Amino acid sequence: MKKKVILALDNLTLEDSINITNQVKDKLLTVKVGLELFNLVSKTGIKRFNDIGVNNLLLDLKLNDIPATVYRSILALKGIKFGFLTVMALGGNEMIKQAKKAASELDPNIKILAVTILTSLSKQELSKMGFSSSVEDTVIQLAQNSNEAHGFISSAMEAKLLREKFPNKLILCPGLRLPNDTKNDQVRTATPALALQNGADACILGRSLLQGDINNNLEKVLNSIK
């Protein structure tokens, strides 16, 4: 992947999302459409990204259901051109096999990415949920349990371990911030430079790019990862 930055279009209207994407799309790997925007505008609205030339969308829908339901849910995305789709690693390999099967029927180039542990979760929160292992061990266990996926979504803090264990998988890191940015609702965060240093293929950034001038912010990020 030559381009290393994915813009997360969070907390935006469709019009703002399209306008911002139009400004910077040539410098991005792609843009990430999350559940909020997807639910807001449905398939018809999401197709507008295709209309402006973004055909490798990252649909961050974090699907997690029984295999047959996930299979049919992905087939229902027919009509949108996208390159990446997220599912939850907790769904297991059988669910991911069905996700890949459905995706390949839409487009053989679509990559299924398994979300390991959300970057908003701390060790303490995981303990309350019944996870007794460290965050790092839990991420690796979830990745092993979902290794049918083309790649993983994980924090930069676990990217190095994932790269060592899964050298041929895609690794995308969300929840990233530039050094002086606030963390907001993220807990396990890092800089884009550290994410790439730890083995990530691409960085997913939202607030660090969207707050202020998108072009200036993107240049800062691109300069930080040269």
> Which has the closest alpha carbon to 192: 221, 154, 153, 212?
221
- To the query of whether residue 62 is one of the catalytic residues in this protein, the response is yes
β-pair partners for 172: 153, 202
8 burial via Cβ count (<10 Å: 0-12, 13-18, 19+)? buried
Tokens representing 66 are: 């029984």
Instruction: Say what angle helices 14-24 and 35-51 make with each other, to 10 degrees.
Output: 50
For residue 187, the Cα-to-chain-centroid distance in whole angstroms is 16
Residue 135 to residue 127: CA distance in whole angstroms: 10
Q: Are 1 and 56 in contact (CB under 8 A)?
A: no
Alpha helix ranges (H) inside the chain: 14-24, 35-51, 67-75, 92-106, 123-128, 135-144, 156-165, 192-197, 207-210, 214-224
Cβ-based neighbours of 120, under 8 Å, separated by 6 or more: 175, 185, 186, 187
Which of the following is catalytic: 62, 81, 100, 111? 62
Q: Give the residue numbers marked as catalytic.
A: 62
